[in-house]
Amino acid sequence: MLTFTLRRLFLMVPTLLVIALAIFLLLELSPGDPMSQLPLSIPEDVREGLRAALGLGDPWYVRFLRWLYLFAVVEPSHMLAAATGLDNLAIEGPRLISFQTRSPVADLIMQRLPQTLWVVGLSYLVGTLLALPIGIYSAYRQYGWFDQFGVLISMAGFSLPSFFTGPVLILVFSIWLGWFPTVYDTMLTVSDWSSFWLQVRQMILPVAVLSLLNLAQISRFVRASVLDNLGQDYVRTARAKGMTERVVLLVHVLRNSMIPVVTVIALGFPTVFTGAIITEQLFRVNGIGQLLITSIYASDVPTVMTLSVIFAALVVFFNLVADVLYGLLDPRIRYD
């Protein structure tokens, strides 16, 4: 298993290089100009100068290799320096700069990441943790009232987009009932209990919207998997041995049902990083999703490129995680 993991980690490098190149070429082909958002009064020759300053005059492979060097060598060295406090680790020279803000992309990401992790990460966690018991119980009491109700909720969760559920929740809980704020205040710093309480209150609505989506998806998946296993012969064997229903369900069936479910949960994990673009917009959470969308509007190639490649890396990495977990859960799968 260790050899397998190491080999796969090593294979991630060429995979990501190809992905990065593909993204770069796609951005290259797409229309748009980093200067398009500048005021029209700026004359054409000044624009040319600005383009040259951003290095846009160079051939595409030079720009790609420059981005690669900055992304893979310079930025990590700065992060390492910041993490260890040893300033001489950081490589001197230009950094990976956002066209739009003229600040390093890494700094932008570090500014936006906490909001996204709190809101999107928490909703993924909440959705998953609720989905497991709900899915298991629905399957165990298939067609019971709980299951029927669960089907209704998850159909709603599936089919109602967040730009519908979000405003409905805002209308009911913020405007009519006045329980929660409508807008997420990113400037809020948690220093005492009252500010912590404010933070919790402003997180509830966006987390609820996103949890519903995750909950609907994962609970249906858990239910299907548990149902599939409840009909297996080994369940009858366990009952014939005199095992309690709790053991039958939570030991014999659950372990088998988790095999496909864990894969789905692991593969869904990278979406936490990209954030939820629509929900972040709705609640004015300036997270990664919002950064990505504004960068795309502004043709901010370095930022879009960096975010996309990090996302790709996370997808590839969590694929590996899913495979490893699969091997750990199912003894029939051995990779070496």
∠ Cα 184 279 179 (to 5°): 45
SS3 97: strand
Distance of closest approach, residue 260 Cβ to other proteins, in angstroms: 13
CB of 334 closer than 8 Å to CB of 327: yes
- Please identify, using beta-carbon distances, which residue of 130 and 247 lies nearer to other proteins: 247
Any contact of residue 238 with other proteins (CB under 8 A)? yes
The piece of 52-60, 101-109, 171-179, 247-255 that touches other proteins (CB under 8 A) is 247-255
CA distance 180 to 204: 8
CA distance 144 to 201: 34
The piece of 63-71, 93-101, 229-237, 272-280 that touches other proteins (CB under 8 A) is 229-237
The contacts of residue 173 (CB under 8 Å, 6+ apart) are: 179, 180, 204, 205
Amino acid at 225: S
Judged by CB under 8 A, which of 151, 259, 320, 324 binds other proteins?
259
- Please identify, using beta-carbon distances, which residue of 247 and 264 lies nearer to other proteins: 247
Please list every residue from 302 through 331 that binds other proteins, using CB under 8 A. 329-331
Distance of closest approach, residue 263 Cβ to other proteins, in angstroms: 15
Any contact of residue 148 with other proteins (CB under 8 A)? no
What distance lies between CA 119 and its chain's CA centroid? Answer: 11
Any contact of residue 142 with other proteins (CB under 8 A)? no
Distance of closest approach, residue 36 Cβ to other proteins, in angstroms: 57
CA distance 182 to 169: 9
- Please identify, using beta-carbon distances, which residue of 7 and 255 lies nearer to other proteins: 255
Any contact of residue 332 with other proteins (CB under 8 A)? yes
Any contact of residue 30 with other proteins (CB under 8 A)? no
CB of 206 closer than 8 Å to CB of 186: no
* DSSP characters over 24-63: HHHHHHS---TTTTS-TTS-HHHHHHHHHHTTTTS-HHHH
Any contact of residue 236 with other proteins (CB under 8 A)? yes
The piece of 52-60, 132-140, 147-155, 228-236 that touches other proteins (CB under 8 A) is 228-236
Any contact of residue 131 with other proteins (CB under 8 A)? no
CA distance 242 to 167: 52
- Please identify, using beta-carbon distances, which residue of 142 and 195 lies nearer to other proteins: 142
Distance of closest approach, residue 225 Cβ to other proteins, in angstroms: 13
For tokens 């910041």, the residue is 82
Any contact of residue 240 with other proteins (CB under 8 A)? yes
Distance of closest approach, residue 253 Cβ to other proteins, in angstroms: 9
- Structural tokens at position 292: 């990505």
- Residues lying near other proteins in the complex (CB under 8 A): 232-234, 236-244, 247, 252, 255-256, 259, 329-332
